[in-house]
């Protein structure tokens, strides 16, 4: 099997390649393509070290990577980590939380990325029409929707956030995650877990009156146990930006920086050390990943304690969710995974071609969403508002008109007015 990775110079590519090399499918070749040729050479070397026994090629063109591939993974970052840091700081300066996938910074990232991803989708449909495009590119919901609507590629969006919540909740309940059925629904970075079942028996009721166990669900303490008990839903971590935007903004302002700026500094230091040749490349890379993971959601939560990935987490993780998705399609496993797919009536209050994030049965024909019971009012209303913004953002990315961009951003629930949207669009996209 050949797997192509577009955005092959990304810093998480060696982690991903290592995970694919350990997957329960025969991966003979992994082809990497990126427009940043110098970084691609460095990342390809790291990837080969992480996946001995698998052929890893750095290709000169996207076509050379895609041709012959059964799966194409896309993980682009147009403008790089420094552009993310700039976007986040602009959002904060305008009094709105700065985060790469949510709010104005996420909008700017989407507008830069969607045109490129649509072209890749069309290229894949033409040169590898039977291949699956597995999209990691953020914002996943927006980008996957754009590719689904504007190309013939077989596309599925993936994110490790839902699986992390599911696995951590099962752990807090003392249940084996592999044996649980999860009632989960939402959009990417806007999802909720409503129930956990084993043998048809529900279990979340055991958390609502147990604040300590409820708090243990989250690796970073973002939500008060009392607020979770009131709504009787467990939101994914990114819902924090919608539930508590002022709290997140205040914490970021007090920190004097942003997550994007910290990641950019870590990344620059990694490449400088690798270029010097004075370090063990894989050991330095693992140090980088640990430092990056330790700071996840730390600033926004106003926490000084670093975050740690627990040793028992075996289902969640960037590399694992990609491997499980590919294994399930290639091996017709009928595995149930939370993925980003076209709605097709699953959530009746959204359009059929809207991309949603729900548990899917994944086999040789791809992912198929499972039935989702009626969604609670407050979650449904927020999803409707965010999806209206996402539809408009995709249309604005395709049209390229500044008027469309302003109107789309004004629909974002975190943006207070049309005037604010106009100021942000000019600062972010037309300085």
Percent of the chain topping pLDDT 70 = 99
Please report the pLDDT score of residue 4 as a whole number. 98
Q: What is residue 333's predicted lDDT score, i.e. its pLDDT?
A: 96
Integer Cα distance of 187 and 341 in angstroms: 10
DSSP, collapsed to helix, strand or coil, labels residue 169 as helix
Query: If pLDDT is split at 50, 70 and 90, which confidence band does 171 have?
Result: very high
Residues 141-165 have a mean pLDDT of 97
Residue 310, pLDDT above cutoff 80: no
Rounded distance between C-alpha atoms, residue 327 and residue 280, angstroms:
31
Kindly tell me if the per-residue pLDDT of 312 is higher than 80: no
**Residue 419, pLDDT above cutoff 80:** yes
The predicted-structure confidence for 271-302, as pLDDT tens digits, reads as follows: 999 999 878 999 999 999 999 988 888 888 88
Q: Please report the pLDDT score of residue 289 as a whole number.
A: 92
pLDDT of residue 421: 98
Give the C-alpha separation, 307 to 291, whole Å.
9
pLDDT averaged over every residue in the chain: 95
Radius of gyration of the chain measured on its C-alpha atoms = 21
Give the containing element (helix H, strand E) for 369: strand 366-369
Question: Residue 316: pLDDT above 90?
Answer: no
| Whether the predicted pLDDT of 314 surpasses 90 | no
- Expressed in angstroms, the distance from the first to the final Cα of the chain is 45
51-70 pLDDT tens trace: 998 999 999 999 999 999 99
pLDDT, residue 304, reads: 74
The predicted structure's pLDDT at residue 279: 81
| pLDDT of amino acid 296 | 87
Q: Does the pLDDT of residue 431 top 90, yes or no?
A: no
342: CB partners within 8 A, 6+ apart: 148, 352, 353, 354, 355, 356
pLDDT digits (tens, 9 = 90+) for 327-355: 999 999 999 999 999 999 999 999 999 99
Q: What is the pTM of this model?
A: 0.96
Residue 4's Cβ-count burial label (10 Å; 0-12, 13-18, 19+) is buried
How far lies 179's CA from each of 184, 185, 220, 388, 398, in Å?
A: 15, 19, 25, 36, 43
**What confidence score (pLDDT) does residue 313 get?**
74
List CB contacts of 230: < 8 A, sequence separation 6 or more. Answer: none
Written as one string, the DSSP assignment of 375-420 is: PPHHHHHHHHHHHHHHHHHHHHHHH--HHHHHHHHHTSTT---HHH
- Over the stretch 208-251, which tens digit does the pLDDT of each residue have? 999 999 999 999 999 999 999 999 999 999 999 999 999 999 99
- Look at residue 308 in the predicted model and tell me its pLDDT: 75
Indicate the SS3 state at residue 360: strand
Query: Confidence class of residue 306 from pLDDT cuts 50, 70 and 90?
Result: confident
Mean pLDDT, residues 112-120 taken together: 98
Which has the closest alpha carbon to 136: 306, 295, 291, 339?
339
- From the list 167, 12, 25, the residue with the least C-alpha distance to 74 is 12
In this predicted structure, what is the pLDDT of residue 305?
78
């Amino acid at each position: 099997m050949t797997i192509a990775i577009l955005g092959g110079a990304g810093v998480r590519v060696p982690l991903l390649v290592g995970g694919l090399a350990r997957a329960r499918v025969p991966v003979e070749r992994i082809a990497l393509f990126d427009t940043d040729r110098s970084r691609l050479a460095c990342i390809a070397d790291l990837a080969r070290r992480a996946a001995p026994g698998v052929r890893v090629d750095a290709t000169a063109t996207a076509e050379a990577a895609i041709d012959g591939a059964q799966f194409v993974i896309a993980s682009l970052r147009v403008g790089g980590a420094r552009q993310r840091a700039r976007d986040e700081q602009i959002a904060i300066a305008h009094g709105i939380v700065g985060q790469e996938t949510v709010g104005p910074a996420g909008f700017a990232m989407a507008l830069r990325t969607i045109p490129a991803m649509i072209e890749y989708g069309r290229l894949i449909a033409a040169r590898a029409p039977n291949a699956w495009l597995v999209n990691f590119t953020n914002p996943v919901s927006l980008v996957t929707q754009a590719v689904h609507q504007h190309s013939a590629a077989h596309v599925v969006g993936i994110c490790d956030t839902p699986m992390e919540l599911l696995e951590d909740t099962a752990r807090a309940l003392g249940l084996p995650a592999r044996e649980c059925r999860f009632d989960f629904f939402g959009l990417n970075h806007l999802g909720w877990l409503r129930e956990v079942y084993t043998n048809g028996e529900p279990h979340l009721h055991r958390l609502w009156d147990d604040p300590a166990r409820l708090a243990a669900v989250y690796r970073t303490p973002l939500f008060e146990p009392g607020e979770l008990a009131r709504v009787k839903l467990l939101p994914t971590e990114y819902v924090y930006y919608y539930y508590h935007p002022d709290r997140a903004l205040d914490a970021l302002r007090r920190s004097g920086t942003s997550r994007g700026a910290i990641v950019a500094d870590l990344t620059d230091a990694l490449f400088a050390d690798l270029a010097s040749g004075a370090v063990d490349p894989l050991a330095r890379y693992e140090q980088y990943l640990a430092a990056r993971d330790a700071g996840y959601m730390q600033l926004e939560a106003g926490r000084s304690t670093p975050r740690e990935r627990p040793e028992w987490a075996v289902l969640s993780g960037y590399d694992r969710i990609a491997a499980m998705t590919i294994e399930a399609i290639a091996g017709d496993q009928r595995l149930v995974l939370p993925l980003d797919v076209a709605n097709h009536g699953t959530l009746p209050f959204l359009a059929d071609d809207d991309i949603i994030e729900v548990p899917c049965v994944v086999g040789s024909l791809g992912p198929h969403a499972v039935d989702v019971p009626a969604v609670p009012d407050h979650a449904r209303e927020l999803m409707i508002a965010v999806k209206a913004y996402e539809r408009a953002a995709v249309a604005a990315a395709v049209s390229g008109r500044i008027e469309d961009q302003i109107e789309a951003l004004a629909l974002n629930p975190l943006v207070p007015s049309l005037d604010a949207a106009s100021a942000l669009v000019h600062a972010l996209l037309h300085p």
